[in-house]
Amino acid sequence: MKTRRMSLLAAAATVLGLTGVIVPGAADSYAASGVALPIAHFSHLLVDAGHGHLFFSGGAGADGIVVTDLDGGDATTIGGEPGATRQGTR
């Protein structure tokens, strides 16, 4: 009886594997639509997942850093930060 039960379980697992069963919650996790930011382009991006923030530098000619939450909402600009586009020196 145990052999038959094991065979049945193995057959069920094989069928489920071959049919491509989708696990709930395995859907794509990217945003379906874009979020407009108050900058034309960006030079650098920093992700602070621990605090839930994204930091964007505006590139050449910009003197601010745009800060959003991880979804791109609640955009705030930290002004007066010239040189935010420069690479660090070693």
Distance CA 11, CA 72 (A): 46
What would the pLDDT profile of 42-72 be if each residue is shown by its tens digit? 888 999 999 999 999 887 788 889 999 998 8
pLDDT for position 90: 46
- What confidence score (pLDDT) does residue 51 get? 95
Q: What pLDDT, on a 0 to 100 scale, did the predictor assign at position 50?
A: 95
pLDDT beyond 80 at 79: yes
Residue 20 has pLDDT above 60, yes or no: no
